[in-house]
Amino acid sequence: MKNPQLGFVKTRLARTVGDKKALDIYLQLVEKCKLETQQVKANRFLYYSKSIETTDLWNGMVFQKRLQFQGDLGERMQTAFQEIGENKKGPIIIIGCDCYDLTANIIEQAFEALEKCDLVIGPANDGGYYLLGLNHPDSDLFKGIDWSTEKVFRQTMEIVQQKKMTYTILQELIDLDTFEDLEKSGFPKH
């Protein structure tokens, strides 16, 4: 999760709505993500981008707070999977906070899918993904990906198919990057 700072979150959206409104939208996305993930019966880890916030709205008794590894998105996700996988048996799911329509039910569907397959993925409308779940960390899934482009989901699925992994694809959700995304999503209209 990006630490919420004016001018550093939802920068593409900010070009249309301004930095203050973009920060407000981001905070609402983070709050919704917190509420949904609290409903899922699982160990919860929260990875901050710059510094661990001890007095924010994420309860340290519910969320184990950690600092993200520095590197590209793939390196950060790969490291999180490895860190959690070293100390935990069973499936691991990683999500972002950019899809307002992500619900506890979808996350639970992902855990259920991992009972029958190697990988579960939730595609986003921008060509990326909002959720990735694995039964075992696999660093190959994070190599050779053009991160932050419309190629991420397709390139990831090519690796999954090359490795002959079994998988489930969840419903596509809207990743809120632009004003048009905001209008199409379930984000509350004010």
Question: pLDDT tens, 98-117?
Answer: 999 999 999 999 999 999 99
| Token pair in block for residue 92 | 């691991």
Question: What is the length of the chain?
Answer: 190
HSE toward the beta carbon, residue 45, CA cutoff 13 A: 17
C-alpha 148/C-alpha 17 separation (Å) is: 21
Residue 75 has pLDDT above 70, yes or no: yes
pTM here is: 0.94
Give the per-residue pLDDT at 24.
Answer: 95
- Token pair, residue 66, equals 């950690």
Domain ranges of the chain: 11-184
Q: Higher model confidence: residue 186 or residue 152? A: 152
pLDDT score for 98? 94
The beta strand positions in 12-138, using DSSP E, are 44-48, 63-67, 92-95, 119-123, 129-134
CATH architecture, domain defined by 11-184:
Alpha-Beta Complex (3.90)
Reply yes or no on whether the pLDDT at 190 is more than 70.
no
Distance CA 136, CA 180 (A): 36
- Which of helix, strand or coil describes residue 148? coil
Map tokens 């905070």 to a residue: 27
| Mean pLDDT of the residues in the chain | 94
